[in-house]
Amino acid sequence: MHLHHLRAAGVSVVLECPPGALPAILHWGPDLGPLGGDDLEHLAAELRPRSDQTVEVPIRTAIVPEARTGWMGEPGLSGHHDGGTGWSPAFTDVTCEQHGQRVVAAGGDPHSRLGLTVTVELDPSGLLRAQAELRNGHDLPYTLDALNLVFPVHGNPTELLDQAGRWSKERVPQRRALTVGTHLRENRRGRTGADAATVLFAATAGIGFRRGEAWGVHVGHSGNHRHYAERTATGRTMLGGGELLLPGEIVLAAGETYRTPWVYATYGRGLDEAAHRFHEHLRARPAHPVRPRPVVLNTWEAVYFDHDLDRLLELADRAARVGVERFVLDDGWFLGRRNDGAGLGDWYVDPAVWPDGLHPLVERVRTLGMEFGLWVEPEMVNPDSELARAHPDWMLKAGDRLPPPARRQQVLDLTDPDAYAYIKERLLALVGEYEIDFLKWDHNRDLVDAGSTAHGGRPAVHAQTEAVYRLLDELRAAHPRLEIEACSSGGARVDLGMLQHTDRVWASDCIDPVERQDILRWTAQLLPPELIGSHIGAERSHTTGRRHDLSFRAATAFFGHYGIEWDLTSLTGAELDELAAWVALHKRHRELLHTGTMVRVDDTPESVRAHGVVAADASEAVYEIAVLGRPATWPPGPVRLPGLDPETVYRVRPLMPFTSRGAAPAWASGELELPGSALAAAGIAAPPLFPEQSVLVHVEAVSTTA
């Protein structure tokens, strides 16, 4: 059978795999129901492309589009053999097999002697993903320029939505009209980037969290990559992506292969449903964290480089007092590291600061019942370090020149076997000696002019990325209990490639709650809350200088992997008690927060944000309602609470007491009871808060109207 119908969680994918041709997607979107063979054939006849004025036969656009068919858009495969041959292969010797929800097509071109295998699978969550592998069977080397995977959109999208951003302001949504031509988002930073597209959507007009239709793609890769949307003059809309390869980066000798990263495709009736597919896919991973996410204290904004044992011991004591479960020592513990200009690469505990090693601190932390974590930046090296002086050839560079410095550091060449072995030995030694539970794995600069001396100066971003993945996997294999956070100048490496090897991400170095409202809101388009580090900062934000009440800071951080980034030694007893109450409240609700279904609210009153998490059985939910600015009208209107069971009656109450600017809404007394249908359609009165304040709302089932 040359038609394959994959179905899961309200999504259908119809693949056509005729003899002698690569597979093409005829439908990706709403579930088509249990179509029989004849029905599927009739539908396919309607969905196949018609002839246009380019060539005299219908142009068939495979998952890896081929220019030789007459396709005038971006080709899926670009490259050539030495001498310029093999640049337009025809994969006509193709076989296709279905195994459950996975279809594997293997094709070859007898003339160019290239082989291509394409794997397409539909996850139980309804998330579609595809991967391709190219093999060179020719005696001549094959230079690969690009290998992209493409998903056609068969609805009627009219706009594009993706993300942009910068350091400390990541994942800023941006919208534009979908027009004829190509919208291309290329990342050449050697890491995912704070300005990454994250998920590129083609959507119907006015797409919202719970309205409209959205088709999106995400490239699960942490090095250079590209996302693009292409609309042709014939009206076809395509979403595509893959790894972005530098000139000459991949040259396949006879018998060698190249495999693309997974490219993920999500469809949803609204952006929330599209996000849920990513969340469910991640939660189903065998390595997904299942135990309660421990509350973290990270020392960076508490002490910076000022590592004084007595002060850190007091900080640990106070962390335990407020309920912290994981104490993380940040930057400044290793040789010569008194500022960010020296020491990277010298991964030995500095005896000038730690004469007894880290043991006194680790022992206190463990005695207090907390796990111990440590900050590292293994992929980087300061020129002012013993490592750089001993091995100047262990830095990525093009030819004999170093790239321009960034943060007074360079990138360690992990494609060099000796450099890789050194870093692996140092990390294993540290984790083993101190029985480290958690590594905050940082990465603080882009890869510029990233060539490898060990490989003749050739571009090395691809090989460097693969080496990092391998290093992470080998560490976790040696220490199965070890958890690792992906941090990269804050949130510059948030992607599903890195999440295959780590346990959470640091969303941003900015923990100002106003900024974090949107950073967390849009990071959730890809990741569920339990994978997003979400910390309470000091009263005065270290990145913006703004001041906020603890209630706003704590409520904003509440839904993620909870933590604290604050000098607790500066707090009064009353302040510590207030913080402890927030930590205890989070612990009571974190199972719901980290297993439930995320909802983001459309059409809130001016300057108001609202979002929440609903339990899988809809028995309860927690929402946050935040007032971020000073609206032109007052008081604010009602806020709908979506995602609840319409036939269940719920009691609505605040989770913590709050101070209103005016009369408190009726539900503040905890006596309001309404069915889920009413809460979703009419909502509750928004609390009249001061700007930059929020309240948490608990909704609990009390009876059913059925």
Question: Is the C-alpha dihedral spanning 71, 75, 77, 79 positive or negative?
Answer: positive
**Region for 42 from its dihedrals, namely left if φ exceeds 0, alpha if ψ lies in -120 to 50, beta otherwise:** alpha
Which SS3 state, helix, strand or coil, does residue 272 take? Answer: helix
Buried b (16+ CB within 10 A) or exposed e, 230-254: bbbeeebbbbbbbbbbbeebbebee
Of 143, 104, 102, the C-alpha closest to 122 is 102
- Quickly tell me which residue has 């719901």 as its tokens: 592
Please say if 331 is a catalytic residue: no
Q: Are 627 and 705 in contact (CB under 8 A)?
A: no
Distance CA 143, CA 141 (A): 7
DSSP notation for 672-691 = EEEEHHHHHHT-EEPP-PPS
User: In 442-585, where do the E strands start and end?
Assistant: 451-452, 458-459, 483-486, 504-506, 532-537, 561-565
Residue 317, phi then psi, degrees to nearest 5: -60, -45
DSSP notation for 340-402 = TTS-TT--SB-TTT-TTTTHHHHHHHHHTT-EEEEEE-TTEE-SSSHHHHH-GGGB--BTTBP
| Tokens encoding 409 | 């550091």
Going by their DSSP bridges, the two strands 142-147 and 77-81 should be labelled as antiparallel
Please say if 509 is a catalytic residue: yes
For residue 68, the 8-state DSSP code is G
- The residues that bridge with 172 in the sheet, in sequence order, are 164
Distance CA 703, CA 699 (A): 12
User: In 465-588, where do the E strands start and end?
Assistant: 483-486, 504-506, 532-537, 561-565
* CA 573 remoteness from chain centre: 38
Distance CA 495, CA 705 (A): 43
CB-based burial label for 182 (10 Å; 0-12, 13-18, 19+): middle
DSSP notation for 185-196 = EEE-SSS--TT-
First vs last C-alpha separation in the chain: 46
Residue of 509, 512, 602, 645 with catalytic role: 509
10 Å Cβ neighbour count for 632?
7
Element (H, E) at 584: helix 573-595
Q: Are 690 and 630 in contact (CB under 8 A)?
A: no
Rounded to 10°, the helix 309-322/359-367 angle is 20
Distance CA 231, CA 178 (A): 8
Residue 278, phi then psi, degrees to nearest 5: -60, -45
Residue of 442, 446, 495, 512 with catalytic role: 442
Q: Is the peptide bond before 688 cis (omega within 30 degrees of 0)?
A: no
| Tokens encoding 3 | 């038609």
- The residues that bridge with 329 in the sheet, in sequence order, are 374
Distances in Å between the Cα of 367 and the Cα atoms of 113, 117, 370, 484 are 64, 54, 7, 23
10 Å Cβ neighbour count for 433?
13
Active site residue ranges: 442, 509
